[in-house]
A and B are shown apart, each in its own frame.
Chain A
């Protein structure tokens, strides 16, 4: 399945190509950006409060005189790392339980599936609010909340893929040769399920970044003064009329990031799994 996908395909699909460049640029910004911006994202300058964009402050300053571009660049670190880490964590948990439920079936499957359904029965943001509210607000609580919200969807997907893969003849053959369940799962089922899992994961990263932004916006994520894109919007939203740049730019940053992930996810889905087209 993986060989259907080549760099040539990516070169031919203009939106996906642009999206990958944007994401590479964003990752680069998140890693080395802090060395490139002139201003410290936390240092306040009381002489230049709420300055509109200018040559001195390219994207203006916020209500404490902090440079918005510098805060956006630092915020990229948090948004990207939370989004990607939460995807990996929830994928890991989802793959583990999904494989077990799908492969062993029977009562194990019934119990596990019931668990998936319970987690999926909550509206995602509502559950994330509940989870992050009981912990001291911060990076860990946001990440844990997003992971706990996301894993069940992956688990259910991996379970259904496993259900169909375990009927394949090569699985049967390997069982006849005396392979253990763990070996069959890790050497036969997981590698064949991987393309679909990658597609599902890439389609969800954008959603996780949005969820992190929403939690930050609600005051449940990483706490000020650390800049995150979501909290930059919530802290400045009272000034939407008088100083709109303070709110508009962080929103554009979130939107561009999430759009790029979604376009790339759509591209991967079309390449790796034509059946899943919506």
Chain B
């Protein structure tokens, strides 16, 4: 088992190097001269070439890449052009807000997705099934940012039930709309897979046996069918965790949620390239790390996965 973790972590290294290589290449292609941006217009050519030497910008590219990786490993992602704040500090400070939003969204997506999937599988072919299918196709087709604005229009401006935007110092009412918006995409996938997984277990002999025993339909569906249908559902939920980062960029922008996504957008609007690239790198690292943790935990949770990995 320890061997498996070690093997997985070793596979992690080339991915990390690849990610850093891609962000390094992107940084090298940024428009404008980074040194000119740092020193301003009145610097002499001598000062500029001195700074260039200090930063290693006169060295060959492979050497510069090694320097870049060293800096990133030391947690240095540079400073914002506008605020001159340390980007790594900013990211670490904003990250918990994104995690909070993503966890709330995941909870919402899992509960309502599984619920809707069960309903449509049990009532297969009825109006309910059609409605749920339509909602789940709609959920992956509607632009997240538009959905957020529409929900805001409905629930904040029209009904006046919920605050339109902001963080509200931890007040849960502020979390509802952004979390629901962020959840929609994942909710649709969870609904689909729950439906198909439930249809499969509902046709199994043990479900017929449970019915024949005279158990109530609720017990048959929830205890016998759903419990056995859960494995692919939980796998999907785990693998999808990282994709909340995509939605977070758009959702946080709409609802003025002070997380990584809005930070990235501020960078985009101001063309603050170190901020954009810092967030891109950080986002990819989080994504890969989450996937690694999910993979390893499956190894321990599901004996079938373990058997496949060790074979």
State the A residues within 8 Å of B (CB).
114-115, 117-119, 121-127, 129-131, 133-136, 206-207, 210, 213-214, 217-220, 230, 233-234, 237, 240-241, 244, 247-248, 250-251, 254-255, 258-259, 261-263, 266, 277-278
Contacts and interface: CB of A to CB of B under 8 A. Distances in A.
Contacts of B137: 259, 262-263, 266
B41 to A, nearest CB: 22
Interface in B22-73: 22-23, 26-27, 29-31
B245 A259 contact: no
B145 A126 contact: no
A251 B250 contact: no
Nearest to A206: B141
A262 B141 CA distance: 7
B95 interface: no
A129 B245 contact: no
A14 to B, nearest CB: 11
B139 to A, nearest CB: 10
B18 A126 contact: no
Contacts of B269: 219
Interface in B169-183: none
Given A218-B250, A262-B141, 12 more contacts: A115-B18, A121-B18, A126-B249, A126-B279, A127-B22, A130-B26, A131-B26, A133-B277, A136-B31, A217-B143, A218-B249, A237-B254
B219 interface: no
Given A122-B19, A251-B150, A213 B143 contact: yes
B246 A240 contact: no
Question: Number of contact residues on B: which range applies?
Answer: 35 or more
Nearest to B277: A130
B280 A129 contact: yes
Contacts of A214: 143-145, 249-250
Contacts of B157: 240-241
B222 interface: no
27 contacts: A117-B18, A118-B18, A118-B21, A121-B284, A122-B280, A123-B242, A124-B246, A125-B246, A126-B284, A127-B280, A129-B264, A130-B22, A131-B26, A134-B27, A134-B273, A206-B141, A210-B143, A214-B249, A237-B254, A247-B146, A258-B140, A258-B141, A259-B137, A262-B137, A262-B140, A262-B141, A278-B196
B284 A114 contact: no
B153 interface: yes
Given A121-B15, A133-B273, A259 B141 contact: yes
Contacts of A123: 242-243, 245-246, 283-284, 287
Contacts of A262: 137, 140-141
Interface centre among B30, B140, B143 (most CB of A within 10 A): B143
Given A251-B150, A262-B137, A134 B15 contact: no
Interface in B194-249: 196, 242-243, 245-246, 249
Nearest to B284: A122
B283 A122 contact: yes
A247 B283 contact: no
A127 B18 CA distance: 13
B287 A121 contact: yes
B192 interface: yes
B1 interface: no
A126 B15 contact: no
Contacts of B280: 122, 126-127, 129-130
Nearest to A242: B157
B134 to A, nearest CB: 9
Interface secondary structure of A, over-half rule: helix
B267 to A, nearest CB: 8
Given A217-B145, A259-B138, A134 B18 contact: no
A160 to B, nearest CB: 16
A255 B146 contact: yes
B268 interface: yes
Contacts of A218: 249-250, 253, 265, 268
Give 5 closest A-B pairs by Cβ, nearest first.
Answer: A118-B18, A251-B146, A130-B280, A258-B141, A125-B246
Contacts of B138: 255, 259
B114 interface: no
A78 to B, nearest CB: 15
Contacts of A263: 137
A219 B287 contact: no
A250 to B, nearest CB: 8
B132 interface: no
B142 A255 contact: yes
A122 B147 CA distance: 24
A205 to B, nearest CB: 11
B149 A247 contact: yes
Interface centre among A125, A207, A241, A261 (most CB of B within 10 A): A125
Contacts of A254: 142-143, 146
B77 interface: no
Contact of B192 (A131, A251, A278): A278
B152 A240 contact: yes
A220 B268 CA distance: 8
